[in-house]
Amino acid sequence: MKFYDHIHQMTFDVSRALATATLLFCLVQFPLHGQEPSADSPPGYGELVDWAYGQDQELVNGLQYYNRNPRSLGHPYLLEGWVHQGSVRIRGKFYNNIWLKYDIYAQQLEVEYQTINGADNQVILVSDRVNDFYIGSYYFKKLKLEEELDDEQFYQIIGGGRLVWYIRWDKKLVPISGDPRFIEEFTSPKRNYLLELDGSVHPFSNKRSFVDLFPESVQKDIKKLIKSNQLQIRSASTEQLELFIMAASNILEGVKR
């Protein structure tokens, strides 16, 4: 049996890992993790086991990424379509300072990382294992908020306490014609809104339906706040919505639950 075939077939048994690490220590004499070796700091046991078995298995355990829509215009992602720095919690374990892409068409989170050989690789995380994540300034959590949807969804969350704004992002793939190179196109991202007020969650689609969710005694103040901030609900940035939610929460302070 060839040496590398043996490496491929090994399980994550501790005793076998130790034997592998020892063997690699004797045979492998090249830089690990892109670092230059020195006489004072030879590769350690942890580095050798990492070389043999790969990165953190929970983080990079998923489907190998490939372009599932090679004849499509546009992209399925939140933001500009390239990776952004963020963090993710998988089965309760927190991973910080990693590179993420959020596919809002497929409702999947992708991680880009560098392999032990220095090559970039991208995997699709198992969605059922992802608790929540940050991508750039956006915070998402997996929740079941809409009865008409069978599964939990990732919702962007803005605010807290008595007033929480939820956004479920969505894209569609629609057929196109006129260019033989492409057969379909990703639509612009769509926002689906829900508001949680004192623990009760309701959908809304425009300014009027949003204002109607508030107690009648503060509805005029909420309308004035929208007008004074020139808030465009469909296109407002995360930063604008955060400031608005803070101001609206202050208005609610004088209202009993």
CB of 106 within 8 A of CB of 76? yes
For residue range 31-60, what is the model confidence (pLDDT) as tens digits?
333 333 333 444 443 443 344 334 555 565
Position 50, amino acid: D
Question: 18-29, pLDDT tens digit by residue?
Answer: 444 444 444 433
User: Do residue 182 and residue 91 come from a single domain?
Assistant: yes
Render pLDDT for 167-210 as a digit per residue (tens, 0 to 9).
999 999 999 998 999 999 999 999 999 999 999 999 999 999 99
pLDDT value, residue 201: 97
> Are 72 and 106 found together in one domain?
yes
Residue 253 lies in a domain: no
Q: Quote the number of domains for the chain.
A: 2
Whole-structure pTM value: 0.75
Per-residue confidence band for 88, with pLDDT thresholds at 50, 70 and 90: very high
In DSSP terms, 94 is beta-bridged to 89
Please report the pLDDT score of residue 214 as a whole number: 96
Domain extent for 12: 3-53
Same domain, 150 and 48: no
pLDDT at 3 over 50: no
E strands along 25-171, which residues?
A: 62-64, 72-73, 84-90, 93-103, 108-114, 120-125, 130-135, 138-143, 153-160, 163-170
Q: Which of 129, 205, 198 is nearest to 167 (CA)?
A: 205
